Amino acid sequence: MSVSETVLLKIAHKDLEASRILFREKLYSQAVFFLQQSVEKAAKAMGLREGLVSKKQLKQKIGHKAWMVFIEYYNIALKIQKQLEGVREEEHVSETLLYLNMITHGLKPLFEYKKEETPGKTDEIIDDTINHLYTVLKRGEFLKILDEDTEAILHKPLGLSKITLKELMTRWKEIGGGGRLVLFVFSFLLERHAIWSRYPDERFNPLEYYSERTPLIKRFNEIANMIDGALKEIEQSYGIR
């Protein structure tokens, strides 16, 4: 792992630590900003480490849109989902398909969420998405179970491509569950807050919006804990101590 990727992950930890301190001091808009920054830096470090993006792309194309790092894997999930539809009668295939359906359908509202111009319209999605995320993570354990029949199916090449379904599944399991899924979801949920938490306009005042009544603030500690777990899981998978 390169120095820049390692440093990005360390900064992600520091940003998360800063967000917790600011939250305890009830500086909520500032806490949300650093929470978003933690997710953004972790996602970018992962993107560099796994060859999904270049440093130039991070600066010129992605910016606060850290979710773009994960799009390739989202597309992999859709491809696997389509392939498994034809063999869904197999028990573990059926469970895996259910898991992937939960991911792809659960993420759809987030693509709309990021288009909103003010956070007030999107409060309702916070609770729904976090609750859905818990369910998906629990269901993801089924991806670890594959029997011999399923193995045979998964070794079939995908169309004209030489890559097999098994290889795609292995790749998806490496990044599509646990911490990486947490980062994917929160890179969506928090993207616009990088701006909303800092800059007021005629329709919106961050100092008034971010309060103990705001869904994001109500579940702040819960979200911070999930992000912390995601960072530790990624570091472990990369062999970072």
DSSP per-residue string spanning 100-160: HHHHHHHHHHHHHHTT-SSGGGGHHHHHHHHHHHHHHHHHGGGGG---HHHHHHHTSB-TT
Total tally of structural domains belonging to the chain? 1
Burial 39-78 (b: 16+ CB within 10 A, else e): bbbbbbbbbbbbebbeeeebeeebebbbbbbbeebbebbe
pLDDT at position 160 is 39
Q: What are phi and psi of 117, to 5 degrees?
A: -90, -25
pLDDT at position 179 is 80
Which residue ranges in the chain fall short of pLDDT 50?
142, 145-149, 158-161, 175-176
pLDDT digits (tens, 9 = 90+) for 47-76: 888 787 888 888 777 888 888 887 776 776
Give the ranges where the chain is alpha helix by DSSP (H): 3-24, 28-49, 55-57, 71-84, 91-113, 123-139, 148-154, 165-175, 178-191, 193-196, 206-209, 215-218, 220-237
- Residue 27 in tokens: 């500086």
Q: Which residue has tokens 């990044």?
A: 175
pLDDT at position 203 is 82
pLDDT at position 227 is 95
Find how far residue 234's CA is from the centre of its chain.
12
Measured CA to CA in angstroms, residue 226 lies from 54, 158, 181, 183 at distances of 27, 34, 11, 9
Domain residue limits at 10 = 3-237
Q: What are phi and psi of 65, to 5 degrees?
A: -85, 60
pTM of the model: 0.79
What is the chain's length? 241
Q: CA 65, CA 235: separation in Å to the nearest integer?
A: 22
pLDDT at position 233 is 85
pLDDT at position 146 is 45
- Residue 4 in tokens: 């820049």
pLDDT at position 1 is 55
